Homo-oligomer: A and B are copies of this chain.
Amino acid sequence: MPSYTAPTKDLQFVLHNLLNVTKSDIPGYDELEPDFTSAILEEAGKLTSSVLAPLNAVGDKEGCRLENGVVYTPTGFKEAFEQVKEGGWTGLDMPEQYGGQNMPAVMGSAVGEMFSASNQAFTMYQGLTHGAASAILAHGTDAQKDTYLPNMVSCEWTGTMNLTEPHCGTDLGMMRTKAEPQDDGSYKITGQKIFISSGEHDMAGNIIHLVLAKITGGPEGIKGVSLFIVPKFLVNDDGSLGDRNGVTVGKIEEKMGIHGNSTCVMNYDGATGFLLGEEHKGMRAMFTMMNEARLGVGMQGLAQADVAYQNALDYAKDRLQGRAVTGAENPDGPADPLIVHPDIRRSLMDQKSFVEGARAFILWGASLIDAAHRADDKAADGLVSLLTPVIKGFLTDQGYDMTIKAQQVYGGHGYIEEWGMSQFTRDARIAQIYEGANGVQALDLVGRKLAQDGGKHVMAFFEMVKNFIKDNAGQDEAFDKDFLDPLKAASKDLQAAGMYFMQNGMKNPNHALSGSNDFMHMFGHVCLGLMWARMGKASMDALTEGASDAAFYETKLATGRYYMARQLPATALHLTRIQSGADTVMALDAANF
């Protein structure tokens, strides 16, 4: 059975060496002293590795069970959920007013990675709740906040998001779920929603569904969509639970993975709902939840890649098979460990350099969110908005590929469920699909985010890369060659791609959209390249300052060199594809496929 070790040390490196959180002027960051963050990460590490990780395989094997309208979660989930709640982990970055601990998003993300890595299906119960609570926090009335948030922050009640219907997912303008206004200001919600994660289960006293629906008589299409709070149990004025609402689970979907999470078909039969935010502005309200969810899903890509990598690494050190081509390294044993073989190393280095780069990328993104929310930094807000589809799309595509590489290290044993590597790939697969399939992320990036605010956010990004290179060049020849030159080349590729879109997308938008997936990936590589260059610099600084754990920083530099030499050059291929334009992509009539 696979195991999970929380990457506490690496998270500390990102927080303190890379992001220098205590030196930031973002409100709240001054409290993030190394001892303090270390204590939190250590505690989260214990809980996730010793309680949640052992339940991961249980959840996969047992799945959720629907009996007479009641959904039963896998053995041990309920008890573990109690432990998570008791530890106060569910409200880490929520306002104190509602029972949270008001920590910055960067800490929520650091801890969140551990939760996702140890047990993605389990963590989704609290993850969806967090998203729903954020939407109520941003768009709810004070009364709504008081009614729902305390119990949601503590996860006594959990939350869901209800968007998809059988005939529409991405194109929500076609939705059919109706909301009929009632005299008391509430609405009657009727319709069917599918793919509802954590839709119904036995771990919470109440479930607060956020449901997109069309108010009868409202505008056609997406402009007529509003967001509603539909609690499983109505809440009385005194906060106690009232009547059971008209929402029921139709069935649990049989999925490829994340079996421990109950993915439900939810039927709303005149259920009582309360408008959240403004009429017909449901998409805006839902996007508060979706943007947070997208960053969380990007993190799932990293998280599954990390736990899969950890186990592949153990296996590669343990399993004896063949001899190093340069001479036996374990001459007294019957064979050398797998890790001596160059192709196994290549795979492990792909994984390691991705995981550590992605971790930095995610926490940097979270720090931008903190800057935007806590310091009202408009530039940070624009930048993280630009990066959100990259974080979601690139990290989940790459994260999935990395779980596949990790599984491959196991050879035949990787294909046997008992060894647990299959689950990592099957669980990771959903992250490329939900919260906007990755094609939609690429479309969002190229079709919307690039040109947002006159393109100023992408220009700011390029400026940032340029300045980093300028500020750090000429000090160390090897660093220039190993880190800065590749970053410069990759950034130039990305700019050339943007230029191609500008010059050709005007006359035919297909020239831009045919390259959207490649652009998202090359953008992701440049971000990881930037992270690695920064981490390389931070590691050199630590070594210069005589850090006690030199091997850690040397390893960081070596891993960065690998990424720069072997992964970052992918930007050139993406650019070639983009510059080939739409002609070959769009050549065929649909009938001729």
Contacts of A430 in B (CB 8 A): 415
Cα distance A561–B514 in the bound complex, in angstroms = 15
Contacts of A537 in B (CB 8 A): none
Task: Report whether B174 and A417 are in contact in the complex, using a CB–CB cutoff of 8 Å.
Answer: no
The answer to whether the Cβ of A141 comes within 8 Å of any Cβ in the partner chain is: no
Task: Report whether A342 and B256 are in contact in the complex, using a CB–CB cutoff of 8 Å.
Answer: no
The answer to whether the Cβ of A344 comes within 8 Å of any Cβ in the partner chain is: yes
Task: Report whether B509 and A325 are in contact in the complex, using a CB–CB cutoff of 8 Å.
Answer: yes
The answer to whether the Cβ of A143 comes within 8 Å of any Cβ in the partner chain is: no
The answer to whether the Cβ of A337 comes within 8 Å of any Cβ in the partner chain is: yes
Cα distance A164–B547 in the bound complex, in angstroms = 47
Contacts of A325 in B (CB 8 A): 447, 509-510, 513
Cβ-closest chain B residue relative to A574: B573
Contacts of A514 in B (CB 8 A): 342-343, 345-346
Cα distance A352–B584 in the bound complex, in angstroms = 13
Contacts of A434 in B (CB 8 A): 412, 415
Task: Report whether B411 and A321 are in contact in the complex, using a CB–CB cutoff of 8 Å.
Answer: no
Task: Report whether B335 and A256 are in contact in the complex, using a CB–CB cutoff of 8 Å.
Answer: no
Question: 0/1 per residue, A39-56, Cβ < 8 Å to B?
Answer: 000000000000000000
Cα distance A577–B564 in the bound complex, in angstroms = 10
Given contacts A322-B170, A417-B254, contact A566 B580 (CB under 8 A): yes
The answer to whether the Cβ of A178 comes within 8 Å of any Cβ in the partner chain is: no
Cα distance A590–B422 in the bound complex, in angstroms = 25
Cα distance A195–B570 in the bound complex, in angstroms = 37
Given contacts A414-B433, A415-B256, contact A588 B555 (CB under 8 A): yes
Which chain A residues numbered 346 to 362 have a C-beta less than 8 Å away from chain B? 346-349, 352
The answer to whether the Cβ of A147 comes within 8 Å of any Cβ in the partner chain is: no
Task: Report whether A443 and B412 are in contact in the complex, using a CB–CB cutoff of 8 Å.
Answer: no
**Nearest Cβ on chain B to A404's Cβ, whole angstroms:** 8
Question: 0/1 per residue, A295-330, Cβ < 8 Å to B?
Answer: 000000000000000000100010011100110000
Contacts of A116 in B (CB 8 A): none
Task: Report whether A590 and B317 are in contact in the complex, using a CB–CB cutoff of 8 Å.
Answer: yes
Contacts of A517 in B (CB 8 A): 343, 346-347
Question: 0/1 per residue, A487-526, Cβ < 8 Å to B?
Answer: 0000000000000000000001110011011000000000
Given contacts A341-B513, A343-B516, A433-B414, contact A169 B256 (CB under 8 A): no
Task: Report whether A587 and B561 are in contact in the complex, using a CB–CB cutoff of 8 Å.
Answer: yes
Task: Report whether A253 and B169 are in contact in the complex, using a CB–CB cutoff of 8 Å.
Answer: no
Contacts of A425 in B (CB 8 A): 256, 429
Cα distance A582–B566 in the bound complex, in angstroms = 11
**Nearest Cβ on chain B to A36's Cβ, whole angstroms:** 28
Q: How many residues of A contact B (CB 8 A)?
A: 93
Contacts of A513 in B (CB 8 A): 325, 341-343
Contacts of A130 in B (CB 8 A): none
Contacts of A253 in B (CB 8 A): 416, 418
Contacts of A335 in B (CB 8 A): 171, 174
The answer to whether the Cβ of A454 comes within 8 Å of any Cβ in the partner chain is: no
Task: Report whether B590 and A342 are in contact in the complex, using a CB–CB cutoff of 8 Å.
Answer: no
Contacts of A404 in B (CB 8 A): 400, 429
Contacts of A194 in B (CB 8 A): 412
The answer to whether the Cβ of A168 comes within 8 Å of any Cβ in the partner chain is: yes
**Nearest Cβ on chain B to A463's Cβ, whole angstroms:** 27
The answer to whether the Cβ of A546 comes within 8 Å of any Cβ in the partner chain is: no
Given contacts A433-B414, A577-B566, A580-B565, contact A343 B555 (CB under 8 A): no
Contacts of A170 in B (CB 8 A): 321-322, 411
Question: 0/1 per residue, A156-194, Cβ < 8 Å to B?
Answer: 000000001001111100100000000000000000001
The answer to whether the Cβ of A334 comes within 8 Å of any Cβ in the partner chain is: yes
* A–B Cβ pairs within 8 angstroms, 16 of them: A168-B321, A256-B415, A325-B447, A342-B510, A343-B442, A344-B439, A346-B514, A347-B439, A407-B429, A411-B437, A551-B592, A559-B588, A562-B587, A566-B577, A566-B584, A572-B573
Known: A325-B513, A342-B513, A349-B584. 19 other contacts (CB 8 A): A164-B412, A174-B334, A195-B412, A253-B418, A255-B415, A256-B416, A256-B417, A343-B442, A343-B514, A343-B517, A348-B593, A349-B585, A411-B433, A412-B437, A555-B592, A555-B593, A558-B588, A565-B580, A569-B577
- A residues sitting closer than 8 Å to B (CB atoms) are 164, 167-171, 174, 194-195, 253-257, 313, 317, 320-322, 325-326, 334-335, 337, 339-349, 352, 400, 404, 407-408, 411-412, 414-418, 422, 425-426, 429-430, 432-434, 437-439, 442-443, 447, 508-510, 513-514, 516-517, 551, 554-555, 558-559, 561-562, 565-566, 569-570, 572-573, 576-577, 580, 582, 584-588, 590, 592-593
Q: Which 9 A-B pairs have the closest CB atoms?
A: A342-B513, A256-B422, A562-B584, A565-B580, A558-B587, A342-B514, A573-B573, A171-B321, A343-B439
